[in-house]
Amino acid sequence: MQSDEIIKRLLMQETKTNVRCYIVRAFNLAARDSDSPSDPYVKVILGEDIRDDRANYVTDEQAPNIYKMFEF
């Protein structure tokens, strides 16, 4: 019974962690422009933290290779 209590306490402790999100490729993106395919970019939301890579959009591509990493 003691080992169960120790495990429970360890699991309930607040722990700082890093979360890494790797984005490699997108597939079958819907066209959002009326006269051409979309210009996709990456936006990742984790809780209240938002990472946006809008400055590096890909022109007219429905299945772009992204190769980005975001760390929270």
Predicted TM-score (pTM) above 0.75: no
Contact 64, 56 (CB under 8 A): no
pLDDT of residue 1: 64
Does residue 56 sit within a domain?
yes
What does each of the 72 residues of the chain score in pLDDT, given as a tens digit?
688 999 998 888 888 889 999 999 998 888 877 777 778 889 999 999 999 999 988 888 888 999 999 999
Does residue 62 sit within a domain?
yes
Does residue 24 sit within a domain?
yes
Closest CA to 21 of 41, 44, 40: 44
Does residue 6 sit within a domain?
no
Instruction: Look up the domain containing 48 and give its range.
Output: 17-71
pLDDT of residue 48: 93
Number of domains in the chain: 1
Does residue 11 sit within a domain?
no
pLDDT of residue 44: 94
Does residue 39 sit within a domain?
yes
